[in-house]
Amino acid sequence: MNYIIGAFKPACNISITFGDGKSRKQVPLKKENGQTVMVPLFQSQENIAGKISVEPVSGKKVEHNGIKVELLGQIEMYFDRGNFYDFTSLVRELDVPGEIYERKTYPFEFSTVEMPYETYNGVNVRLRYILKITISRGYAGSIVEYQDFVVRNYSPPPSINNSIKMEVGIEDCLHIEFEYNKSKYHLKDVIIGKIYFLLVRIKIKNMDLEIRRRESTGSGANTHVETETLAKFELMDGAPVRGESIPIRLFLSPYELTPTYRNINNKFSVKYYLNLVLVDEEDRRYFKQQEITMFRLEETS
């Protein structure tokens, strides 16, 4: 029985260390099994370098047909689970066919890597970056090891950032005007605005401001749209009167937001909306939705 157990044990241990692993920022990444691990954070055009160690299990040698490391950027749709679309694929050959008797270390480097899209874990899609190490073996089956890392890309503040002004109403019943201080926000920003009641002839019970994320995946008949309400902020409780003005001040930092993603590799988009919801005393709901653009501002340490 022990022979059978031994047959399924890996023939070697593979470990991956990044060259600047001790100084590089680590961020949490949620794995498929629900566990959260800390992984290194990179941005586009950075060098990704380090060392890969292959150590045979004591007393064994590892025969192989070559060792390689790949840097992959992949998109996976959950309705097509298991099929990865590679938008970035780089490879480095580490070793020619041969045998390994003891621990062997291989340096690797991918220079100024183009990583245009951010790591994203959504409802129906995920985008990930991995290092994939493959020890090719014939009949014995290849040995494969993966190492995740996260990519975030930063944007400068937009040169033009117009405010949003809109009027919404029901003829002869309700007429309100709302204003948000800008249309583009960074992830730790504050939404500041005002709501003016120009005409109130229905009894408003309460009013909320929601932040909504809309993720659309696929295209044509296979388009899947998921809308999540990430935050709900009560603006008013009770009936407003004509001429009343209500201030808005909503801090974005407590919420897990991403930048707006538009048509990533023709696979998915992520958009954000401010949704103003009014509820009258008969529980009828009136709402007005407005898209806002989110961007990631470089954090100053």
d(CA 196, CA 240): 10
Q: What CATH number does the domain containing 167 carry? A: 2.60.40.640
Residue that the structure tokens 């935050």 belong to: 231
Report the pLDDT value the prediction gives residue 6, as an integer from 0 to 100. 45
Report the pLDDT value the prediction gives residue 207, as an integer from 0 to 100. 84
- Pick the closest to residue 189 from 259, 252, 272, 232 (CA basis): 252
- Pick the closest to residue 246 from 292, 201, 198 (CA basis): 198
CB-based burial of residue 52 (10 Å sphere; 0-12 exposed, 13-18 middle, 19+ buried)?
Answer: buried
* C-alpha R_g of the chain: 26
The reply to whether 178 and 285 lie within a common domain is: yes
d(CA 43, CA 113): 9
Q: Is residue 243 part of a domain?
A: yes
d(CA 94, CA 112): 19
Q: Is residue 300 part of a domain?
A: no
Last residue of a domain, one of 117, 149, 181: 149
d(CA 228, CA 10): 42
User: Is residue 40 within 8 Å of 21, Cβ to Cβ?
Assistant: yes
From edge to edge, which strands make up the β-sheet containing 174-180?
A: 164-170, 174-180, 190-200, 245-251
Domain that holds residue 238: 162-293
Report the pLDDT value the prediction gives residue 8, as an integer from 0 to 100. 54
pLDDT tens string for the chain (301 positions)?
344 444 556 788 999 999 887 889 999 998 877 789 999 999 999 999 999 999 998 778 888 999 999 999 999 988 777 788 999 999 999 999 998 889 999 999 999 999 999 999 999 999 999 999 999 988 778 899 999 999 999 999 889 999 998 887 777 777 888 899 999 999 999 999 998 888 777 777 888 899 999 999 987 777 889 999 999 988 877 777 777 888 899 999 999 999 999 999 989 999 999 998 888 888 888 888 999 999 999 876 5
d(CA 152, CA 184): 18
Last residue of a domain, one of 149, 174, 206: 149
- Number of domains observed in the structure of the chain: 2
d(CA 233, CA 8): 55
The number of beta carbons lying within 10 Å of the beta carbon of residue 75 is 22
Last residue of a domain, one of 115, 149, 183: 149
CB-based burial of residue 42 (10 Å sphere; 0-12 exposed, 13-18 middle, 19+ buried)?
Answer: buried
d(CA 298, CA 167): 34
The reply to whether 118 and 210 lie within a common domain is: no
Report the pLDDT value the prediction gives residue 136, as an integer from 0 to 100. 92
The reply to whether 177 and 116 lie within a common domain is: no
pTM to 2 decimal places: 0.86
The reply to whether 25 and 118 lie within a common domain is: yes
